[in-house]
Amino acid sequence: MSNSSFFEIKCLSKGPQETLALGEKLGHLLFPGAIVLLNGDLGAGKTLFCGGLAKGLGIEEAITSPTFNILKVYEEGRLPFYHIDAYRLNQGSADIGLEDYLFGDGVSAIEWPEFIASYIPDNHLEISIEPTGENTREFTLAAKGEKYVEVLKKLEAFL
Ligand SMILES: Nc1ncnc2c1ncn2[C@@H]1O[C@H](COP(=O)(O)OP(=O)(O)O)[C@@H](O)[C@H]1O
Ligand SMILES: [Mg+2]
């Protein structure tokens, strides 16, 4: 892999508002077809971050966990937003037409991506959230592919 197609940054969040703000900044920069993976244990802040993403995409509606629905679609923003929680899927049973979303023109944010690993395109933005205290989180944002590297470099400039 060449240097230009991978880029990683780390940043700290000192509370839910900062996580929302980080998501919102990223939401402003995402492009049609963008894939954002979210790693982190239950309660890490994946869904909260997606709320920020949605806000940055111009979605007013509150974002709630799609765990029991697997997929929620928000159409009222700058780009369609597909919020996926793969926790209840596994490789064999992901036959819900997920490719239509992942290879569509919207932005896909995926919680628990490891459950649908074979569906994930090679190029994507992978975000890992590590709790470091009750209200603090360490974010690692890793971009694979030139378009994602570009987005992440822009985001870094806004932090
Ligand atoms: N810095 C922070 N960033 C994100 N969430 C935080 C932070 N500090 C505390 N929290 C709390 O952690 C919880 C995260 O919940 P949620 O986003 O649903 O997690 P997940 O989707 O990863 O299971 C929320 O209750 C939120 O208020
Ligand atoms: Mg969640």
Q: pLDDT of 122-135, one tens digit each? A: 999 999 999 999 99
> 47 C-alpha vs ligand 2 centroid, how far in Å?
4
Residue 70 maps to a domain? yes
Q: What is the pLDDT of residue 121?
A: 95
Residue 127 maps to a domain? no
- Any idea which ligand is nearest the CA of 15? 1
pTM: 0.95
Residue 79 maps to a domain? yes
Q: What is the pLDDT of residue 15?
A: 98
For 100, the domain range is 7-42+56-105+113-120
| Distance separating alpha carbons of residues 143 and 63, to the nearest angstrom | 24
CB within 8 Å of 95: residues ≥ 6 apart: none
Residue 99 maps to a domain? yes
Low-confidence ranges of the chain (pLDDT < 50): 1
Q: Are strands 71-74 and 81-85 parallel, antiparallel or unpaired?
A: antiparallel
3-state secondary structure of 73: strand
Indicate the number of domains in the chain.
Answer: 1
> 75 C-alpha vs ligand 2 centroid, how far in Å?
20
Atom of ligand 1 nearest to the CA of 18: 1
Residue 22 maps to a domain? yes
| Distance separating alpha carbons of residues 62 and 87, to the nearest angstrom | 21
Residue 149 maps to a domain? no
> 17 C-alpha vs ligand 1 centroid, how far in Å?
10
Decide whether any atom of ligand 1 lies within 6 Å of the 16 Cβ.
yes
Atom of ligand 1 nearest to the CA of 45: 17
DSSP assignment string, 38-50 = EE--TTSSHHHHH
Read off the amino acid at residue 75: E
In the block, tokens 């954002």 appear at 36
